[in-house]
């Protein structure tokens, strides 16, 4: 079940550069469903499901495992942790948030007062309940990364919120696609990438190694259906979004059109996405070697990079139906 797969992946620890817990959960879910699995030097989990056609295309489908976090830079004498961001962490949205380290140590983020101007990352600290630097150092080390603590909850009938929805929802989609496909024409190379949030690093390396015929990134996109937020023109519950452009890529027209055609074949309602900021692994795949025809399929997500990223499961279900058509007809 898609919802169960999603919950499993949302509850795994996986800050940028420390995605192995997510990778292990995915390995378990895919055991017996794919033809090969390997992990590269960047920590990308690369799986293959061979196509049946003699002229099968090699389709690389990427979803990133990492999510944003806070890395310890200094331990104060009184045991508080100074941190800086790993990826796009907001100081404002981190205030009062429960965070957790890979070793299970819990903490609370807080922001010290600032007389003039808005607080910056230099004003953010984490309280792990230590009274001295020595006590804190026995619990965490410099370079350890804290992430928003897992908290998966339903919102109404169709919606789910949690930290790390960006991009575990896409990882869940890719897992389910690989579980459901059987005897498909083309070869699917599922790449669960690392360090997307700090510069598409895992996808850059993986795309070069895989050398695919076609690339597709799965990711979330921003929302335009809350008060005062009307751009991009994307709504939750109105279907997955076929990307036209973001700041990392202009989608290859042939792949964009193939996604739209797959939506028609699957009878799935889709949205067209023009994102005036941000980017995805698609930007790295498209520019590898001599270039790869690449597109992106997005799940609309409210409150991206917060501790309560929200999606609609109907968009997820539609995306899965679309992908099942895409891998056979592209």
Q: For all residues of the chain together, what is the average pLDDT?
A: 96
Helix axes 2-10, 20-30, angle to 10 degrees: 150
> Rounded to the nearest 5 degrees, what angle is found at the Cα of 81, between the Cα atoms of 11 and 16?
40
Task: Note the pLDDT of residue 231.
Answer: 74
d(CA 188, CA 275): 27
User: What CATH fold (topology level) applies to the domain 69-148?
Assistant: Elongation Factor Tu (Ef-tu); domain 3 (2.40.30)
* 3 state SS for the chain: CHHHHHHHHHCCCCECCCCHHHHHHHHHHHCCCCCEEEECCCCCEEEEECCCCCCCCEEEEEEECCECEEEEEEECCCCCEEEEEECCCCHHHHCCCEEEECCCCEEEEEECCCCCCCCCHHHEEEECCCCCHHHHHCCCCCCCEEEECCCCEEECCCEEEECCHHHHHHHHHHHHHHHHCCCCCCEEEEEEECCHHHCCHHHHHHHHHHCCCEEEEEEEECCCCECCECCCCCCCCCCCEEEEECCCCECCHHHHHHHHHHHHHHCCCCEEEECCCCCCHHHHHHCCCCCCCEEEEEEECECCCCCCEEEEHHHHHHHHHHHHHHHHHC
**Structural domain boundaries of the chain?**
2-67+164-329, 69-148
Let me know: does 110 contact 95? Beta carbons within 8 Å: yes
d(CA 122, CA 168): 29
Domains 2-67+164-329 and 69-148 alike in fold = no
pTM of the model as a whole = 0.95
Q: What is the largest CA-CA distance in the chain?
A: 68
Displacement of CA 240 from its chain's centroid (Å): 15
Model confidence at 1, pLDDT cuts 50, 70, 90, reads confident
Let me know: does 64 contact 197? Beta carbons within 8 Å: yes
d(CA 84, CA 121): 6
38's tokens: 């390997």
Average pLDDT over residues 225-232: 80
Please report the sign of the dihedral spanned by the C-alpha atoms of residue 10, residue 11, residue 12, residue 15.
positive
Average pLDDT over residues 250-277: 96
pLDDT 10s digits, 125-170? 999 999 999 999 999 999 999 999 999 999 999 999 999 999 999 9
The answer regarding whether domain 2-67+164-329 maps to CATH 1.10.760.10 reads: no
pLDDT 10s digits, 16-36? 999 999 999 999 999 999 999
Average pLDDT over residues 269-294: 95
Q: Is the pLDDT of residue 226 over 90?
A: no
Task: Note the pLDDT of residue 7.
Answer: 97
Displacement of CA 30 from its chain's centroid (Å): 18
d(CA 205, CA 207): 6
Count of CB atoms within 10 A of residue 127's CB? 16
128's tokens: 């792990």
Task: Note the pLDDT of residue 93.
Answer: 92
Annotation says 196 is catalytic: yes
* Active-site pick, 19, 196, 273, 317: 196
């Amino acid at each position: 079940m898609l919802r169960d797969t999603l919950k499993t992946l949302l509850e795994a620890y996986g800050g940028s550069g420390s995605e192995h817990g997510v990778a292990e959960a995915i390995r378990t879910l895919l055991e017996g469903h794919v033809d090969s699995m390997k992990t590269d030097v960047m920590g990308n989990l690369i799986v293959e499901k061979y196509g049946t056609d003699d002229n099968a295309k090699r389709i690389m489908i990427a979803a990133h495992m990492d999510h944003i976090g806070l890395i310890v830079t200094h331990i104060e004498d009184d045991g508080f942790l100074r941190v800086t961001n790993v990826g796009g962490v907001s100081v404002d949205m981190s205030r009062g948030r429960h965070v957790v380290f890979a070793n299970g140590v819990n903490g609370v983020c807080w922001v010290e007062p600032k007389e003039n101007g808005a607080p910056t990352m230099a004003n953010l600290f984490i309280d792990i309940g230590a009274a001295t630097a020595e006590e804190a150092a026995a619990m965490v080390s410099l370079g350890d990364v804290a992430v928003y603590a897992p908290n998966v909850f339903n919102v109404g009938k169709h919606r789910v919120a949690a930290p790390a929805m960006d991009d575990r929802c896409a990882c869940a989609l890719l897992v389910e696609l690989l579980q459901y496909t059987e005897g498909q024409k083309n070869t699917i190379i599922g790449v669960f990438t690392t360090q997307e949030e700090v510069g598409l690093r895992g996808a850059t390396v993986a795309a070069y190694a895989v050398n695919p015929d076609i690339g597709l990134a799965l990711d979330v996109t921003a929302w335009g259906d809350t008060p005062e937020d009307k751009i991009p023109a994307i709504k939750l519950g109105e279907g997955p979004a076929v990307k036209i452009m973001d700041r990392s890529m202009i989608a290859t027209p042939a792949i964009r059109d193939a996604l739209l055609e797959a939506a028609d074949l699957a009878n799935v309602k889709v949205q067209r996405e023009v994102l005036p900021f941000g980017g995805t692994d698609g930007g790295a795949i498209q520019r590898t070697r001599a270039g790869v025809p690449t597109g992106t399929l997005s799940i609309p997500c409210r409150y991206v990079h917060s501790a309560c990223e929200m999606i609609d499961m109907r968009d997820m279900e539609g995306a899965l139906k679309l992908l099942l058509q895409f891998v056979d007809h592209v």
